[in-house]
Amino acid sequence: MGIRLPAPRSMKRDASFSKRFIALLIDLLVINVVIVLPFSGLFEGLSYSFAELESVQLPPQLLVAIGMISLLSLFYFTLLQYFVGKSIGDHFMKISVDGKPGFWKCLLRNVFVIPFFPFYLLWVIEPLHLIFYRNRLLDKWMGLRMVERVMI
């Protein structure tokens, strides 16, 4: 005769800021190795000061490379979150998008990776919104949230 124990119970709660931050760092490392590294030869020998950036004309192939890196990064986050519900960093930190969001919601919640105006404003707005309101602004707009399962 086996002992019948009750099934473990768990609940979802909002993922902590620290887990989300570490997951993002892991994802940025993956993106750097898998996506940015193949383009690294185009960036060799480039160095500009902030004062020079206003008047610098970047070569067209460099702009194309930045655009490709941005699109590939956007699809990295979007496709993983759409098909799996989490990115590689989210997997390691045991957090995920709550529910099954549609493709367009996944795409729109990740436009922060595009380094062109107005999207790069999200690099400041998103972390501030996360710190003060405990969720990302784009998640709020899309009706999504990042959760972690905890045993009770």
Q: pLDDT tens for residues 125-140?
A: 887 877 787 777 777 7
The neighbouring-strand residues paired with 149 are 12
In a domain, 47, yes or no: no
Q: Is residue 52 part of a domain?
A: no
- Model confidence at 58, pLDDT cuts 50, 70, 90, reads low
* Mean pLDDT score across all residues of the chain: 82
CA distance 41 to 82: 32
Is position 51 within any domain?
no
pTM flag (> 0.85): no
CA dist 11 and 2 (Å) reads: 27
> What are the residue ranges of helices labelled H in the chain?
17-31, 40-43, 50-53, 60-83, 88-93, 103-108, 122-133, 137-142
d(CA 96, CA 146): 5
Would you state the pLDDT for residue 45?
Answer: 67
Residue 13 one-letter amino acid? R
How confident is the model over 33-52, as pLDDT tens digits?
999 888 887 777 666 555 55
- The pLDDT of residue 41 is 78
The residue segments making up the domain with residue 104 are: 11-38+58-151
Which carries the bigger pLDDT value, residue 92 or residue 63? Answer: 92
- Residue with the bigger pLDDT between 54 and 72: it is 72
Report the C-alpha gap between 151 and 44 in whole angstroms. Answer: 49
In a domain, 46, yes or no: no
Domain count within the chain: 1
Looking at the domain assignment, is residue 44 inside a domain?
Answer: no
105 within domain boundaries: yes
User: How confident is the model at residue 52, as a pLDDT?
Assistant: 54
pLDDT at residue 11 is higher than 90: no
Task: Determine, yes or no, domain membership for 102.
Answer: yes
Question: Quick check: is 29 in a domain?
Answer: yes
